[in-house]
Amino acid sequence: MVSAASYLTMNNSTNITCDVYMHHEAAKVMFSLFYIIILIVGLLGNILALHITLQKHQKINSTTLYLIHLAVSDALFTAALPARIVYTIRGFDWPFREMLCRISAVIFYINTYVSIQFMTCLSVDRYIAVVHPLRFAKFRKVQNVRYICGAVWVFVFIQTAPLLFVTMTKNNNGLVTCMEYPNFETNTNLPKLLLGACFLGYCLPVTVILFCYSRVNVKLCKTAKENPLTEKLGRNKKAINVILLVLLAFLICFTPYHITIMQYMIRKLISQQSCWQQQVFKVSLQVSVCFMNLNCCIDPLIYFFAFKGYKRKVLGIIRRHFTLAVSLKSSSENNSTPATLSQIQGSGSGSMN
C-alpha cells in the first residue's frame, strides 16, 4: 500500500532533496480516522454477508460463490487494518517487524486484485447467463466455479508472493516507513513492472467488464423489443443490476489508483520528474489509495442492491432487531405503570382513613 509518510527523496539529476509530503500532521489524523471507519464498516458488512450466504439451506449457485469469495477477501483485508491504523496514529512510523510489513503488503495487494478478478468473474457469469445460457452453461456449474475461484486465488498469490522477499521498510528522518513508494524507487525497472501489473490487473479486467455490460445491455434491449412483457416486469433491470453495480464499484475504487500510477510511470520513462510533479503524484496516490480501500465497504452494497434474497434477509434482520427493541421498551413501560398506580391507590386509601 502506498500511503503517506514524511520523507525526502533525492532528485537524481540535480542532487536536490525534494519534500514529497508536506502535510504530515493533517494526514496522520485523516488517515487514522479513515482506516478506523473502513475497519468497522468493512468488517461488519462482510461478516454479515458471509453469515447470510452461508446459512443452512441456503442455495449455492455460481453468483453466490463469487460473492462468498469476494467477502472473504474483504474480511481478510480488514483483519490486516489494525496494524495499519497503529502505523498512521504513530505518524507513519512502523513499530512492528519487517516481516509483518511484508505480510500486510501482500494481504493488501491480494485483496485488491482478487476483488478485481472476482468482479470480472461476476460480470462474465451474468454475460453467460443472459447471452449464452446454453452454450457456456458448464462455466456456471457450481463445481466448475469452485475450480475457477481456486485458480483466481492461486494466480493472484503467485503474482503477489514475491513481495514477501522484498524489503518494505525504510528509515526516513527517524521514522520507519512501511510500503511507501519511494522505498522501491531505487529499482530502475519499477516503472515497467508497475505498467505491466496495471495492464494485467486493471486494463484487461475493465475491458472484459465493459464488454460484458455492453453485450448484456444489447441482448436485453433486443429481448424487450421482441417481448415487451419483460420490460413491464422489470426483468431487464434485475438482470443488468449486477454488472452495472460491479462496473460502478470498479470505476470508483480502482480506476483513480491505476490511472495515477500509469500516467506517472509513463512520464517517468520519458523524462526526469520535477519536485513539484513528485509532490502532485504523492498527493494523488494518497487520495487514490483511499478510494481503492473503500472497495471492502462497497462490496456489501453490491450484495444488498443486486440480489433480492440478500436484501430481503438483511431487511428481515433489521426488522427483527427493531421489533425486539420496541417490544422491550413497551414491556418496561408496562412494568413501571402498575407500580405507579399501586402507589397512587395506596396514598389515596391512606388519606381516606
pLDDT class of 299 with cuts at 50, 70, 90 = confident
Structural domain contains residue 337 = no
For 267-294, what is each residue's pLDDT tens digit?
Answer: 888 888 777 777 788 778 888 888 888 9
Region 166-191: mean pLDDT is: 81
Q: Distance between CA 127 and CA 352 in Å, rounded?
A: 84
Which sign, positive or negative, has the C-alpha torsion 147, 150, 152, 154?
A: negative
**pLDDT value of residue 150:** 96
The highest-confidence range among 9-13, 262-266, 270-274, 324-328, by mean pLDDT, is 262-266
For 56-89, what is each residue's pLDDT tens digit?
Answer: 556 788 888 898 899 899 988 888 889 989 998 9
Q: Show the domain range for 235.
A: 8-319
**pLDDT value of residue 236:** 57
Structural domain contains residue 347 = no
Give the 3-state secondary structure of residue 249: helix
For 110-165, what is each residue's pLDDT tens digit?
Answer: 999 999 999 999 889 988 988 888 888 888 898 999 999 999 999 999 999 998 99
Neighbours of 92 (CB within 10 A): 23
Structural domain contains residue 328 = no
Q: Are 2 and 180 spatial neighbours (Cβ–Cβ below 8 Å)?
A: yes
Q: Write 40-43 long-range contacts (CB < 8 A, 24+).
A: 41/297, 42/74, 42/75, 42/77, 42/78, 42/81, 42/296, 42/297, 43/75, 43/78, 43/79
Q: Distance between CA 258 and CA 7 in Å, rounded?
A: 23
- E strand spans, 186-314: none
The highest-confidence range among 189-203, 211-225, 268-282, by mean pLDDT, is 189-203
Region 238-249: mean pLDDT is: 77
Label the pairing between strands 169-172 and 175-178: antiparallel
The terminus-to-terminus CA distance of the chain in angstroms comes to 82
Question: Is the model's pLDDT at 265 over the cut of 70?
Answer: yes
Instruction: Supply the DSSP symbol for 19.
Output: E
**pLDDT value of residue 95:** 92
**Which neighbouring-strand residues pair with 177?**
170
Question: Is the model's pLDDT at 322 over the cut of 90?
Answer: no
Residue with cell 517487524: 97
Structural domain contains residue 224 = yes
Which H, E and C letters describe the chain, residue by residue?
CCCCCCCEEECCCCCCEEECCCCHHHHHHHHHHHHHHHHHHHHHHHHHHHHHHCCCCCCCCHHHHHHHHHHHHHHHHHHCHHHHHHHHHCCCCCCCCHHHHHHHHHHHHHHHHHHHHHHHHHHHHHHHHHHCCCCCHHHHCHHHHHHHHHHHHHHHHHHHHHHHHCCCEEEECCEEEECCHHHHCCCCCHHHHHHHHHHHHHHHHHHHHHHHHHHHHHHHHHHHHHCHHHHHCCHHHHHHHHHHHHHHHHHHHCHHHHHHHHHHHHHHHHCCCCHHHHHHHHHHHHHHHHHHHCHHHHHHHHHHHHCHHHHHHHHHHHHHHHHHHHHHHHHHHHHHHHHHHHHHHHHHHHHHC
**Phi, psi at residue 302, to the nearest 5°?**
-65, -45
Q: Are 32 and 4 spatial neighbours (Cβ–Cβ below 8 Å)?
A: no
Question: Is the model's pLDDT at 197 over the cut of 50?
Answer: yes
Structural domain contains residue 262 = yes
This prediction has a pTM of: 0.80
Structural domain contains residue 38 = yes
Q: What domain count does the chain have?
A: 1
Region 24-52: mean pLDDT is: 86
Neighbours of 274 (CB within 10 A): 13
CATH of the domain at 238: 1.20.1070.10
* Cell numbers found for residue 107: 494481504
* Cell numbers found for residue 340: 405507579
Q: Are 230 and 236 spatial neighbours (Cβ–Cβ below 8 Å)?
A: yes
Share of the chain above pLDDT 90, in %: 26
Structural domain contains residue 33 = yes
**pLDDT value of residue 45:** 86
Structural domain contains residue 353 = no
Residue with cell 471507519: 37
Spatial CB neighbours of 318, under 8 Å, sequence gap ≥ 6: none
**pLDDT value of residue 351:** 45
Q: What residue type is 300 in one-letter code?
A: P
pLDDT class of 220 with cuts at 50, 70, 90 = confident
**pLDDT value of residue 270:** 87
